Amino acid sequence: MSAPTLQDLAGNALISALREEDRRRLMPHMMIHELRPGDVLQESGQEVFETWFPLDAALASFSVATYRDNDAVEVALVGREGAVGGIVSDGSIAAYATASVRMAGRFIRIRSQTLEQLKTESIHVRHWFSRYSDYLLAQSFQNAACNAKHTITQRTARWLVSAMDRTQSNRFELTQEQLAEMLGVGRTFVTRTVSAMRAEGLIESRRGVFTVVNEQALRNHSCSCGAALERHFHAVLDNLYQS
């Protein structure tokens, strides 16, 4: 655990959308934590006390339980472009989804209560979170459409491209079981899809490690949902200070 520097803050695009004066306002209340895969950031049904910002290659994911078969399905990924916890609900209100660390790395933590105070002191910090919540809502809309319309191959390619863009790496520790769980599909479908992608020279997957071999071909196999969301992210956050 350590206090962040301004350079550390550059590792998160959401924080980078703020002007330096607002970043400096937040900085004294932030701490950096090294977290490991599986560490829980917020638990479904529990109050939210903290907001977490993944830095650099760190990755978190939201998952929601489907009670009938008792399986959790991943509903959103959050990497260096975003934050987890107390975004819409002002913190201290029970979380709907569980959020946990998907890929190890450094995360900035700020107490949700402190963040609420800072939102009242700066209209830009307030707008910053409102706009990010708009982006999270867009992500939910897009994922609902993606799950209904796009093939497992398109969705697998989208997940890998999305993880690659967020972590700036082409290599991920990820088992096929985890991938099946994240996509909410049966393991046999994922095994078949991954085998076909390997045969086409798009990826390698060995002992729980995925490596993207042909990035452009993988992007061609992905649906356009990820690119649409990225455009929306920039549309809502790039002009934060013009309002």
Write the CB contacts of 130 (distance below 8 Å, at least 6 apart in sequence).
Answer: none
* Distance in angstroms (rounded) separating the CA atoms of residues 7 and 4: 8
Residue 6 vs 228, nearer CB to Zn ion: 228
Q: Per CB under 5 A, does 223 bind Zn ion?
A: yes
> DSSP secondary structure string, 22-83?
HHHHHGGG-EEEEE-TT-EEE-BTSBP-EEEEE-TT-EEEEEEEETTTTEEEEEEEE-TT--
Of 12-20, 23-31, 139-147, 203-211: span binding Zn ion (CB under 5 A): 139-147
Of 94-102, 105-113, 142-150, 233-241: span binding Zn ion (CB under 5 A): 142-150
Nearest approach, Cβ of residue 61 and Zn ion (Å): 17
How many residues belong to the site for Zn ion (CB under 5 A)?
Answer: 4
Residue 162 vs 167, nearer CB to Zn ion: 162
Q: Which of 27, 84, 225, 237 binds Zn ion (CB under 5 A)?
A: 225
Q: Per CB under 5 A, does 160 bind Zn ion?
A: no
Residues counted in the chain: 243
* Distance in angstroms (rounded) separating the CA atoms of residues 31 and 1: 6
Binding residues vs Zn ion (CB under 5 A): 146, 150, 223, 225
